[in-house]
Amino acid sequence: MASLNYPIEAVIASGASVSSAMRLHNPGLVRLVPQHLVIPAAWTAANVTLQGITTGVTNFIDVNLEGAVAQNAWPWADLFDPFGNEIVIPAAAGRGIVLSPQDFMGWWALRVRSGTAAAPVVQAAQRRIWFSHRTFD
Q: Measured between alpha carbons, how far is 102 from 95 in angstroms, rounded to an integer?
A: 21
* Domain count along the chain: 1
Tens of pLDDT, residue by residue over 33-53, are 777 789 999 999 999 999 988
The band of 74, judged by pLDDT with boundaries at 50, 70 and 90, is: low
- Where in the sequence is the domain holding 101, given as residue range(s)? 2-136
What average pLDDT does range 67-78 have in this prediction?
A: 63
pLDDT value at 137 more than 70 = no
Please, what is the average pLDDT of the chain? 79
Q: How many CB atoms lie within 10 A of CB 123?
A: 23
DSSP state of 64: -
Percent of the chain clearing pLDDT 70 (strictly above): 72
Tens of pLDDT, residue by residue over 90-123, are 999 999 998 887 777 778 788 999 999 999 999 9
Q: What is the CATH number of the domain that holds 75?
A: 2.60.120
DSSP 3-state percent helix, strand, coil across the chain (nearest 5) = 0, 45, 55
